[in-house]
């Protein structure tokens, strides 16, 4: 087993026992990124020199007796998190040359925990996409089959973790953007309860839905990251006062006696039969670990995608208004007056999918349409919350497939936005409700593509989700499988 | 049948908090451009707003002062539009549910009658930055120091029926926000700005179509703009035309309003609740805490001045028109003739301030000196006439009242023998007039008073002078 095949928790033990140094680890991963990533394009910006400075510092601190939780562990951030002094593009041409003067809270907290930042990961432009194909910096490839997409929008994070280019990464999830790529790439990814991880410094897509979370090889690794990431942030008004948690400490909670709900709505038409089969097998596995399976109903899940594609674009149309070419970001050289400056800068700076969503969002908020679209979608959102409230009165968790299909081929859906949007049919309701959900690898298709199952929990059940995930991963080995990737000269 | 004007005002009041409404940048005026900015008020990607509690308390204080309902739950919304000095591309404001609901303001009009003007609502919002066109050729500079300064927008009902009523309302509001210490009210620096909605109708008929006039940053401009607008709309209506609903800009140099944009061109602001801010929830106990900290308000103070000092309503109204003037008056009048103090402040002091363009806050005469001056009138050290001379020195040069009186030798002559000597000299110099007076020309008494006062350089005690003079003239020679 090579160094990069270890997960975060293993590497932590190796560092603590001083069997390896942070500098060795960082050098190794940087070398691997340079030799493997050219075929994946999961990184937008490497933090090479600076990462080594951080690694040297970590080794010095360990020699001085520091016990920071994640000291010397290399990670990478989705390029949606502001990093002081390091380019932050959000996958867009708009921010091609933008260097933030401040760190996102997530970046700050992980740095304070001692991590070494290897670089910034590719993503769908402004997190709008389910395939990573809307990135201005090129589509990311799925490490299990480079003809396939890695999912999106945190596609770079998922591909990099799956390809062992980095032991763990951050992602963000607005409608499935952590869980869907985690499923497509065969890794573990948590979308925490809304308000547990600060949004400060994370470039907003849809503020009421966006939530940052960890993406790693295992639930145990995700818990390590959550210990550092979660916590109240006075700079984010939507941050929960009791956001912090003891995620690693809660991992050993037994599965025995838990009531696990299964919603037949998640196994309806359109679900790939191989996925149905593997997820049902996983449910049986949970049952064999002592869980009791209980049927539940989520009747409004069917309209979640429709409501989401009103609400998310509405918020996005306003959130993205600040990219006007006036203070920072792309400014058109072909404008003769203020109106043209706005139009040209935004036309040139934003890609087609971002422009489409700004148009949809502006439309649903405009006078005469607000009630029919925005307000109605908010009502649907309340119904979906109510669905989960009722379900969680009966069960501790709900389990189902994360995606209706495995990873699809590049370009397969780029001409048909609605079919692309339906890739998130099982993940979106979770964001509308604000509850936590976890993707766990639970098998492969006959073609060798990963399959993911989704565990959903009630508000603040993040610890429980990770504990059940951990128990499942102790009993199975799906999360230990590795894609076969050749090293090439970068 | 004549036209009746209907006026409603929207007033933007900059709240005098230390920091901005959604970040910790200072709100100080006049700094180097873009010095007071941070990721939040520059709208850098990922930056988020956090509400300033001090701005909320100032809004609550205003609401309580106008007897309004404080909404226990209010919502911040985004008002979306593009403008270079609006960094986020939207303004955070309150739309459907404002923090302050219905209230009212009591006006005293010039003829002494009272009028109640309804306040529809008041809501919190952030100010925009400034676009600078001077000092740039073919370019525009953006200064975001002001971006994020807290504003309270106070919307009145269309209750005013003349330009003077509108001015009275604005002045009352201006005094109120300064009383409450929620704004410096500085109109030149834009801390207190007004838009006016103006329409005409025949009395008793429904409201006519209104025009909204922007950019009224003085009481005089408000009056002039409404007067101009009344004439303009009257001309249109009387020639059979229709007033167009539109936004008009007041040009202070030309004294006229001109069209800015019509209703059709108006922006669709696409308001929706700001997902970055939770609903603003205010506990009842907190409202009571703010209520307990409210200062005495103008109407209550006026009432007290009438009762405690026995002042007429007019005097009490003038003296309580600003908190600083009222405080000044109370220092001066303590234990003295309250009406004398009122007359001096309303006449001499306000007159002098007005001529020098100063405010009571920067009055060169400390209240203690003003008080001493009136004390010297009451203890007859000087006469009222001499006191005016002392006041002028006090106002122009400062120093102590007693020192001025001594230095200039202005102490009043109250020794009857000394006054009698002065009178005798005057009578001796004017034997002809004395004879005429005694022959029945009573009017000459005034002449002798004038001559004797002149001989005393104005320092003789007037009553004693009158008395002794009459004695001398009436006794047979």
**Three-state DSSP state, B301:** helix
Q: Do B270 and A362 touch (CB under 8 A)?
A: yes
In a domain, A238, yes or no: yes
Selection from B373, B438, B12 nearest residue B183 by Cα: B12
State the pLDDT confidence band at B462, using cuts at 50, 70 and 90. Answer: confident
Residue of A nearest to B85 (CA): A326
- The model's confidence at residue B381, banded by pLDDT at 50, 70 and 90, is confident
In this structure, are B313 and B434 located in the same domain? Answer: no
CA-based nearest residue in chain B for residue A374: B272
Question: Å from A349 to nearest chain B CA?
Answer: 15
Count of beta carbons in the 10 Å neighbourhood of residue B51: 17
**What does chain A come to in residues?**
490
- Comparing CB atoms, the residue among A81, A100, A315 nearest residue B44 is A100
pLDDT of residue B460: 86
B115 with B196, same domain: the answer is: yes
Which of A236, A342, A366 minimises the CB distance to B268? A366
Host domain of residue A232: 3-261+393-480
Residue range B89-106: mean pLDDT, rounded: 97
Residues B167 and B284 in one domain: yes
Q: How far is B182 from chain A (nearest CA, A)?
A: 25
Which positions of chain A have pLDDT values less than 50? 490
Q: Kindly state the DSSP code that residue B347 receives in the 8-state scheme.
A: I
Average pLDDT value over all residues in chain B: 93
Residues in chain A within 8 Å Cβ distance of B44: 82, 100-102, 328
User: Which residues in B lie closer than 8 A to residue A362 (C-beta atoms)?
Assistant: 270
B428's CB contacts (< 8 A; 6+ apart) are none
Within a domain: residue A181? Answer: yes
Domain contains A487: no
| Residues in Cβ contact with B300 at an 8 Å cutoff, skipping those fewer than 6 apart | none
Chain B neighbors of A199, CB-CB under 8 A: 46, 48
Whether A318 and B80 lie within 8 Å, measured CB to CB: yes
Pair A213, A172: CB distance under 8 Å: yes
Q: What was the ipTM of the complex prediction?
A: 0.96
Alpha-carbon distance A237 to nearest alpha carbon in chain B (angstroms)? 6
CB contact under 8 A, B142 and A338: no
B150-156, strands of its sheet edge to edge: B103-108, B114-126, B150-156, B3-14, B192-202, B211-216, B246-251, B256-262
Q: Is the pLDDT of residue B477 over 60?
A: no
Q: Are residues B356 and B437 in the same domain?
A: no
Interface contact flag, B82 A342, Cβ < 8 Å: yes
Q: Measure the CA–CA gap between B461 and A375, rounded to whole angstroms.
A: 83
What is the Cα–Cα distance from A321 to A94, expressed in whole angstroms?
12
Chain B environment of A315 (Cβ under 8 Å): 272, 275
**Mutation for testing the A interface, residue in B43, B78, B140, B270 having most A CBs under 10 Å:** B270
Residues B87 and B41 in one domain: yes
**For A237, which of B48, B80, B88 is closest by C-beta distance?**
B48
Burial of A224 (C-beta count, 10 Å sphere; 0-12/13-18/19+): buried
Distance from CA of A385 to the nearest CA of B (A): 17
> pLDDT for B385-428, tens place per residue?
889 989 999 999 888 988 888 887 778 888 888 888 889 898 88
Number of independent structural domains in chain B: 3
What pLDDT score does A490 carry?
43
Q: Could you report the per-residue pLDDT of B52-81, keeping only the tens digit for each?
A: 999 999 999 999 999 999 999 999 999 999
How far is B411 from B338, CA to CA, in rounded Å?
Answer: 23
CB-nearest partner of A367 from B42, B45, B268: B268
Task: Find the mean pLDDT for residues B248-255.
Answer: 91
User: Does residue A467 lie within any of the structural domains?
Assistant: yes
Task: Give dist(CA A71, CA A59) in Å, integer.
Answer: 8
Which residues of chain B are within 8 Å of residue A320 when distances are taken between CB atoms?
89
The structural domain count of chain A equals: 1
> Which residues of A are catalytically annotated?
78, 153, 177
Q: Among candidates B99, B101, B65, which has minimal Cα distance to B293? A: B65
B168 lies in the same domain as B36? yes
* B6–chain A nearest CA distance, Å: 28
Tell me, what DSSP letter sits at residue B31? P
Tell me the chain A residues in contact with residue B43 when contact means C-beta distances shorter than 8 Å.
322, 327
Q: Are the Cβ atoms of B268 and A81 closer than 8 angstroms?
A: no
Q: Which of A102, A321, A365 sits opposite B272 (nearest CB)?
A: A365
Question: pLDDT tens-digit profile of B26-62?
Answer: 999 889 999 999 999 999 999 999 999 999 999 999 9
Give the tens place of pLDDT for each residue, B215-235: 899 999 999 999 999 999 999
Specify if A462 maps to a domain: yes
Substitution target from B48, B50, B52, B136 for chain A, most A beta carbons within 10 A:
B48
Do B191 and B262 share a domain, yes or no?
yes
Tokens for A336, please give them: 């003769």
Q: How distant is the Cα of B274 from the closest Cα of chain A, in angstroms?
A: 9
CA distance B310 to B291: 29
Contact between chains at A338 and B84 (C-beta distance less than 8 A): yes
In CATH, what number is assigned to the domain containing residue B445? 1.10.10.410
pLDDT per position as a tens digit, B310-360: 999 999 999 998 899 999 999 999 989 999 999 999 999 999 999 998 889
Residues of B in contact with A340 (CB under 8 A): none
Task: Please tell me whether residues B308 and B424 are part of one structural domain.
Answer: no
Residue A343 structure tokens: 């139009």
Q: What percent of chain B has pLDDT over 70?
A: 99
What is this structure's pTM?
0.90
CB neighbourhood size of B54 (10 A): 16
Token pair belonging to B423:
């009178």
**Cα A9 → chain centroid:** 20
CB distance A258 to A468 below 8 Å:
yes
Q: Which residue has the tokens 């942030």?
A: A233
pLDDT of residue A488: 65
Shared domain for B403 and B452, answered yes or no, is no
Residue of A nearest to B41 (CA): A322
Task: Find the DSSP H helices in B348-415.
Answer: 350-356, 367-378, 384-397, 401-407
Question: Bridge partners of B117?
Answer: B105
Indicate which CATH number applies to the domain containing A100.
Answer: 3.90.1300.10
Strand partners of residue A437 = A191, A456
Cβ–Cβ of B88/A238 closer than 8 Å?
no
Q: What is the pLDDT of residues B422-447, one digit of tens each?
A: 898 988 899 888 889 888 888 888 89
Residue that has been written with the tokens 């209240």 in this structure: B367
> Using CB atoms within 10 A of its CB, is residue A27 exposed (0-12), middle (13-18) or buried (19+)?
middle
Question: How far, in Å, are B55, B370, B384, B396 from residue B355 at the CA level?
Answer: 36, 18, 21, 12
User: Could you tell me if B421 and B393 lie in one domain?
Assistant: no
**Domain's final residue, options B407, B436, B458:** B407
- What residues contact B351, with CB distance under 8 A and at least 6 apart? none
Total CB pairs under 8 A between chain A and B: 99
Strands (E), B109-216: 114-126, 130-132, 141-143, 150-156, 192-202, 211-216
Sign of CA dihedral A323, A325, A330, A332: positive
Chain B hits for A204, Cβ within 8 Å: 45-46, 276
Q: Are residues B29 and B121 in the same domain?
A: yes
Q: Is B252 within 8 Å of B216 (Cβ atoms)?
A: no
Whether B278 and A238 lie within 8 Å, measured CB to CB: yes
Average pLDDT for B196-201: 96
Tokens at A318, concatenated: 């306003």
Of B39, B51, B89, the CB nearest to A321: B89
Closest by alpha carbon to A426, among A294, A305, A326?
Answer: A305
Best residue of A85, A327, A367 to probe chain B, by most B CBs closer than 10 Å: A327
Query: Would you call A318 and B46 a contact, using CB atoms and an 8 Å cutoff?
Result: no
DSSP class of residue B348 equals I
CA distance A370 to chain B (A): 8
A182, A452 contact by CB (below 8 A): yes
- The strand pairing partners of B413, in sequence order, are B460
Q: Answer yes or no: do B394 and B424 share one domain.
A: no
Question: How close A307 comes to chain B (CA, Å)?
Answer: 16
CB of B37 within 8 A of CB of B3? Answer: no
Which stretches of chain B sit within 8 Å of chain A by CB?
39, 42-51, 78, 80, 82, 84, 87-90, 142, 268, 270-272, 275-278
In a domain, A374, yes or no: no
Tell me which chain B residue has its CA closest to the CA of residue A316: B275
Question: Is residue A180 a contact partner of residue A426, using CB atoms and an 8 Å limit?
Answer: no
Pairing of strands A116-121, A74-78: parallel
Burial class (CB in 10 A: 0-12, 13-18, 19+), B390: buried
Query: Where in the sequence is the domain holding B198, given as residue range(s)?
Result: 3-289
Nearest CA to A450 among A131, A37, A145, A218? Answer: A145
């Amino acid at each position: 087993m090579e160094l990069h095949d270890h997960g975060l928790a293993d590497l932590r033990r190796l560092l603590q026992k001083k069997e390896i140094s942070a500098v060795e680890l960082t050098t190794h991963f940087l070398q691997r990124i340079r030799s493997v990533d050219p075929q994946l394009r999961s990184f937008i910006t490497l933090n090479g020199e600076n990462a080594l400075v951080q690694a040297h510092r970590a080794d010095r601190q360990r020699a001085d007796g520091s016990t920071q939780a994640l000291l010397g562990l290399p990670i990478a951030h989705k390029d949606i998190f502001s990093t002081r002094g390091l380019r932050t593009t959000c996958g867009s041409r708009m921010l091609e040359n933008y260097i933030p003067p401040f760190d996102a809270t997530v970046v700050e907290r992980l740095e304070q925990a001692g991590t070494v930042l290897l670089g910034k990961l590719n993503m769908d432009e402004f997190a709008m996409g389910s395939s990573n194909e809307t990135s201005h910096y090129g589509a990311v490839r799925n490490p299990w089959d480079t003809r396939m997409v890695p999912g999106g929008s945190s596609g770079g994070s998922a591909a990099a973790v799956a390809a062992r280019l980095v032991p763990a990464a951050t992602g963000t999830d607005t409608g499935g953007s952590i869980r869907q790529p985690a499923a497509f790439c065969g890794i573990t990814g948590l979308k925490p309860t809304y308000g547990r991880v600060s949004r400060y410094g994370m470039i907003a897509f849809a503020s009421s839905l966006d939530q940052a979370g960890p993406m790693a090889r295992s639930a145990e690794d995700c818990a390590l990251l959550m210990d550092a990431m979660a916590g109240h942030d006075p700079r984010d008004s939507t941050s929960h006062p009791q956001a912090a948690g003891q995620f690693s400490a809660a991992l050993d909670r037994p599965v025995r006696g838990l009531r696990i709900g299964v919603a037949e709505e998640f196994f309806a038409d359109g679900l790939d039969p191989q996925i149905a089969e593997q997820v049902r097998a996983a449910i049986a596995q949970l049952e064999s670990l002592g869980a009791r399976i209980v049927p539940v109903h989520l009747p409004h899940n069917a309209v979640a995608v429709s409501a989401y594609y009103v609400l998310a674009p509405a918020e996005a149309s306003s959130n993205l208004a600040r990219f006007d070419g006036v203070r920072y970001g792309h400014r058109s050289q072909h404008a003769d007056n203020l109106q043209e400056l706005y139009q040209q800068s935004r036309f040139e700076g934003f890609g087609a999918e971002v422009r489409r969503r700004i148009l949809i969002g502006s439309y649903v908020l405009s006078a005469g349409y607000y009630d029919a679209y925005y307000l109605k979608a908010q009502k649907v959102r309340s119904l979906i919350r109510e669905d989960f409230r009722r379900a969680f009165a009966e069960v501790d968790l709900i389990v189902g497939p994360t995606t209706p299909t495995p990873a699809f081929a590049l370009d397969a859906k780029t001409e048909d936005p609605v079919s692309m949007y339906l890739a998130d049919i099982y993940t979106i309701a979770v964001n509308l409700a604000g509850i936590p959900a976890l993707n766990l690898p639970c098998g492969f298709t006959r073609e060798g593509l990963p399959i993911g199952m989704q565990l959903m929990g009630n508000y603040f059940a993040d610890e429980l989700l990770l504990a059940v995930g951990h128990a499942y991963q102790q009993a199975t080995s799906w999360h230990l499988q590795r894609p076969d990737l050749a090293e090439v000269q970068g | 049948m004549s036209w009746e004007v209907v006026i409603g005002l929207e007033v933007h009041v900059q709240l005098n908090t230390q920091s901005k409404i959604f970040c910790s940048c200072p709100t100080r005026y006049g700094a180097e451009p873009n010095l007071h900015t941070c990721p939040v008020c520059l709208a850098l990607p990922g930056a988020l707003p956090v509400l300033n509690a001090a701005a909320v308390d100032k809004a609550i204080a205003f609401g309580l002062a106008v007897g309004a309902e404080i909404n226990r739950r209010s919502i911040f919304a985004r008002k979306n539009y593009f403008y270079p000095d609006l960094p986020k591309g939207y303004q955070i404001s309150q739309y459907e549910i404002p923090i302050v609901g219905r209230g009212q303001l009591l006006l005293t009009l010039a003829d002494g009658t009272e009028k109640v003007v309804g306040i529809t609502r008041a809501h919190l919002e952030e100010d925009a930055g400034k676009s600078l066109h001077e000092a740039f050729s073919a370019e525009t500079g953006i200064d975001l120091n002001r971006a994020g300064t807290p504003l309270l927008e106070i919307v009145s009902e269309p209750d005013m029926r003349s330009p003077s009523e509108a001015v009275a309302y604005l002045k009352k509001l201006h005094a109120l926000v300064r009383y409450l210490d929620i704004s410096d009210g500085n109109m030149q620096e834009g801390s207190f700005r007004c838009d006016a909605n103006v329409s005409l109708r025949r009395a008793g008929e429904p409201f006519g179509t209104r025009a909204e006039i922007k950019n009224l940053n003085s009481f005089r401009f408000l009056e002039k703009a409404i007067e101009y607008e009344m004439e303009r709309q009257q001309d249109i209506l009387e020639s059979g035309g229709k007033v167009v609903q539109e936004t008009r800009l007041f040009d202070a140099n030309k004294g006229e309003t001109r069209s800015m944009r019509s209703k059709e061109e108006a922006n669709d602001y696409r308001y929706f609740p700001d997902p970055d801010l939770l609903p603003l929830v205010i506990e009842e106990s907190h409202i009571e805490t703010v209520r307990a900290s409210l200062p005495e308000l103008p109407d209550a103070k006026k009432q007290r001045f009438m009762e405690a000092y026995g002042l007429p309503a007019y005097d009490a109204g003038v003296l309580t028109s600003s908190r600083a003037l009222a405080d000044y008056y109370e220092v001066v009048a303590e234990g003295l003739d309250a009406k004398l103090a009122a007359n001096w402040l309303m006449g001499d002091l306000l007159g002098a301030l007005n001529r020098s363009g100063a405010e009571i806050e920067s009055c060169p005469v400390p209240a203690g000196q003003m008080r001493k001056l009136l004390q010297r009138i009451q203890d007859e050290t000087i006469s009222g006439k001499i006191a005016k001379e002392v006041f002028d020195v006090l106002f122009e040069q400062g120093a102590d009242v007693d020192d001025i009186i001594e230095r200039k030798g202005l102490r009043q002559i109250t020794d009857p023998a000394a006054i009698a000597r002065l009178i005798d000299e005057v009578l001796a110099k004017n034997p002809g007039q004395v004879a005429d007076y005694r022959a029945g020309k009573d009017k000459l008494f005034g002449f002798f008073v004038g001559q004797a006062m002149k001989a005393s350089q104005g320092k003789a005690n007037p009553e004693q002078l009158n008395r002794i003079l009459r004695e001398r003239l009436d006794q047979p020679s």
